[in-house]
Amino acid sequence: MPESRSEQGSQAAVAHYVASLSSDLASLARRSGLETLGYLLEMVRLEAETLTRHNGNGNGRRG
């Protein structure tokens, strides 16, 4: 079922928020010596940014 414009906007907003929050958390983790956790949170940030871009230009689904 196709997503409505408001659902896409909402998903983009959530993805943007997750990207921002995970970036802050990754920095905090790395400053505390939690390198693996920092790395994983950085991967979350990258995925969230990808979804933000896709939701702005399409349906947000990959593949």
Q: What is the pTM of this model?
A: 0.75
Domain count, the chain: 1
Q: Is residue 18 part of a domain?
A: yes
Q: What percent of the chain has pLDDT over 90?
A: 62
The 10s digit of each residue's pLDDT in 34-53 is 999 999 999 999 999 999 98
Question: How is residue 4 annotated by DSSP?
Answer: P
Write out pLDDT tens, residues 10-20: 899 999 999 99
59, part of any domain: no
Residue appearing with tokens 């400053």: 31
Domain housing 37: 5-54
Q: How far is CA 25 from the centre of its chain?
A: 13
42 domain residue, yes or no: yes
Range 39-44 contact pairs with CB under 8 angstroms and sequence separation of 24 or more = 44/18
